[in-house]
Copies of this chain bind each other. A is one copy, B any other.
Amino acid sequence: MNLTEGREKFIQTWGTLGSNWGINRAMAQIHALLLISPNALSAEEIMEELKISRGNANMNVRALMDWGLVFKVLKAGERREFFYAEKDMWKVAMQVVKERRKRELEPIIGTIRELKKIKDESVSGKQFETTIHDLDSVITKADKTIELLIKADENWFMNNFLKILMK
């Protein structure tokens, strides 16, 4: 496999992986392309390389910026905008974890807190209570673990501690 084929394969694989995680193909592919591009690319270049329309490119580049994974770069003497992906993979992973936490964990924690208030003495009510209670405890634990992970990122000791743990 040569470089061109490898790049192609990487873009395809990242795109497929994305769709398993509720991220659309174009968005994941643009991300992949920017990850392996040594320099920032213009909208035009992205469109060309991935064979997608201007609107599609624009929309998904903006989504990637919302996720904090891609940044606008302005080049001196150039009118158009260029896009550059965060290349530090640990940061990328952290950013994704943080965003998904905010977008998904937080709302569900809210809903569960509401559902916890329901009291009902029937068998069905008892099972509901148990399920919601257990779910709350698992989700709260997951949330705390993510917090720990985010803190580790900002804290030298924790970081090293986790590195040893994961070796």
Contact = CB atoms under 8 A, between A and B. Distances in A.
Interface stretch (A53-61, A66-74, A75-83, A111-119): A111-119
Nearest to A122: B3
Contact of A138 (B9, B20, B90, B120): B90
A132 B22 CA distance: 23
Interface string A96-134: 000000011000100100110110101111111011101
Nearest to A100: B20
A59 to B, nearest CB: 19
Contact of A35 (B10, B13, B115, B131): B131
A115 B22 contact: no
- As for how many copies of this chain the complex holds, the number is 2
Given A36-B132, A141-B166, 10 more contacts: A1-B114, A1-B117, A3-B124, A3-B125, A10-B128, A21-B22, A89-B138, A92-B138, A93-B142, A145-B166
A36 B165 contact: no
Given A17-B104, A36-B127, A6 B115 contact: yes
A7 interface: yes
A127 B20 contact: no
Contact of A118 (B1, B128, B138): B1
